[in-house]
Amino acid sequence: MKLSVIIITHNEEQNIARALASVAFADEVIVVDSFSTDKTLEICSKFSAQVIQNEFEGYGQQKNFAQNKATGDWILYVDADEVVSVELADNILSTIKEKEGTKQNVYEMNRLNFYCGKPIYHGGWYPDYVVRLAKKNMAKWTQPNVHEKLLPLTNQKPGRIYGDLKHYTFKNILSQVERNMRYAGLGANDFILKKGRKPYLLEVIVRPVGKFLECYFFKGGYLDGFFGFVIAVNSFYSMFIKYVLAKSSDDINKSPKSQ
């Protein structure tokens, strides 16, 4: 059984080499790049990856475009800031071999998130199961503005593969603040589209506070020390901005889709 790996990129020079090195076990690696202006393409050329340029229209759209280019029987989806651990790689290969000819089409795996270089085990960040392995043409990415998901094309429950998918999500606190601001605008658009209305004032007040309490207290974020507190506060602020932008909907129409 042939395994393809898909990675989408845009200006990922700080991450892409690490990701590509971790998927060297695959039969095919496809990088779909949305016209990077840094050294991403130069780095990709040093690995046996096929690079395809495609204009970015959204995260789910880009990944669906990429999977149509894959030739493998199975497709593993990896983000540029992720690393497939040795244990996970071994289990993926053994699973594909053992499950050949069975009806299981999709698998989830646990993502271990790192914050400022530190693994985070609480606050809802761990375990973080994500569906990332699927037989070709048996799953498709949703296409919201943000937080896309890989969904099976049947009602089948995903199987599970053990081993961590390491996610180096934020190299510093500022990078989280910047991404939260960007995602808040995209999430505000999604709120309007899904609900068909602006949020109520009570939602603007209560939802962010509830998010902080959930992350820091109910899901044990305080056990991660200082970074656990920072993550919870950023979660509060991101949700607050999302609801504020959705409430003042003239602003969200100006929020571009970006990576």
Q: What is the DSSP string of 162-178?
A: EEEEEEEEESSHHHHHH
Q: Return the SS3 of 110.
A: strand
Distance between CA atoms of residues 84 and 141, nearest Å = 20
Average pLDDT (78-98) is 95
Q: Return the SS3 of 248.
A: coil
- What the block records as the tokens of 59 is 């995260």
Pair 184, 245: CB distance under 8 Å: yes
Distance between CA atoms of residues 21 and 18, nearest Å = 5
**Cα end-to-end span (Å), the chain:** 33
Q: Which pTM value belongs to this model?
A: 0.84
What pLDDT is stored for residue 194 in this prediction? 85
Q: Residue 20: how many CA atoms within 13 Å on its side-chain side?
A: 24
Q: Write down the CATH superfamily of domain 3-170.
A: Spore Coat Polysaccharide Biosynthesis Protein SpsA; Chain A (3.90.550.10)
Where do the CATH 3.90.550.10 domains begin and end in the chain? Answer: 3-170
Distance between CA atoms of residues 186 and 183, nearest Å = 5
- What type of residue sits at position 116? C
Phi, psi at residue 152, to the nearest 5°? -65, 150
Residue 67 neighbours by CB distance under 10 Å:
22
Pair 176, 124: CB distance under 8 Å: no
pLDDT per position as a tens digit, 127-168: 999 999 999 999 999 998 778 999 999 888 999 999 999 999
What pLDDT is stored for residue 78 in this prediction? 98
Pair 2, 28: CB distance under 8 Å: yes
What pLDDT is stored for residue 158 in this prediction? 94
β-strands 3-9, 28-33 pairing = parallel
pLDDT band at residue 181 using 50, 70 and 90 as cut-offs: confident
